[in-house]
Amino acid sequence: MVDQFATIHQGGGQEVTDQTEDIWSHRWYLSAGTGSAYVTDDSSPDCATIEVNGYTIQPETFYGQIATIGVYAHEFGHGLGLPDLYDTDYSSEGIGNWGLMGSGSYGGVNRSGDAPNHMTAWTKAYLGWLDPPTVTTGELRDSISLNNVSQSNDYLKLLNESNNTNGEYFYVENRQQVGFDKGLPGEGLLVTHINESRLGGRLCVLEQL
């Protein structure tokens, strides 16, 4: 089975053009429409067939110019198994521009999407790329230093000491407008409130202070 099959279509994506005949950038499975994966004529080293099922599709152009990397990075995140973190019914901002799987795919300096913002701490931990130190409220010291995530792997997981078994916790990360985060809407500590009991509930709300 091919792990990731990426397709680039001509023109712009419906998420930008708002034209119903255009294709919305997405991640999906061929078997959802055909009932089975596509079997190629190629053979794998062990002589088994090679199949294609999961795919991503993204546009050639973005607002009339050659597309930047943002949408490609976002859809590749889906290929890795990540969910959308923008609000899919548009009743809120989701995580806003603070992560690649939200609207951070449009992060940029010269053009939207030319510097997609970093994945959030939760996203990296979900993929197994991150195992930050855990601190309970009773262990908090007078000060804790966190380098910015564009230049370090510094993150903090914060648990409420009296209520730390129900999958509810916080991630703390230092986000500065450098590196891929140079297109962030601001700088400072990003505190993400996670409630694992709501995963899959399509609830993701941004509160900016």
Q: Is residue 72, in this structure, part of any structural domain at all?
A: no
Confirm whether 77 is domain-assigned. no
DSSP assigned state of 129: S
Q: Which of 169, 160, 167, 161 is nearest to 192 (CA)?
A: 169
Asked whether residue 45 falls in the same domain as residue 129, the answer is no
Total tally of structural domains belonging to the chain: 2
DSSP state of 15: H
What is the C-alpha to C-alpha distance for residues 47 and 26, in angstroms, rounded to an integer? 32
Range of weakest confidence among 35-49, 59-73, 118-132: 35-49
Query: pLDDT digit string (tens) for 63-111?
Result: 889 999 999 999 999 999 999 998 777 777 789 999 999 999 999 989 9
Domain of residue 153: give its range: 87-209
Residue 60 main-chain phi, psi, to 5 deg? -75, -40
Pairing state of beta strands 168-175 and 188-195?
Answer: antiparallel
Q: Which of 31-40, 41-50, 75-84, 122-131 is the least confident region?
A: 41-50
Q: Are residues 6 and 105 in the same domain?
A: no
Dist CA 176 CA 180 (whole Å): 10
What type of residue is 28? W
- Are 52 and 99 in the same domain? no
Q: Does residue 78 form part of some domain?
A: no
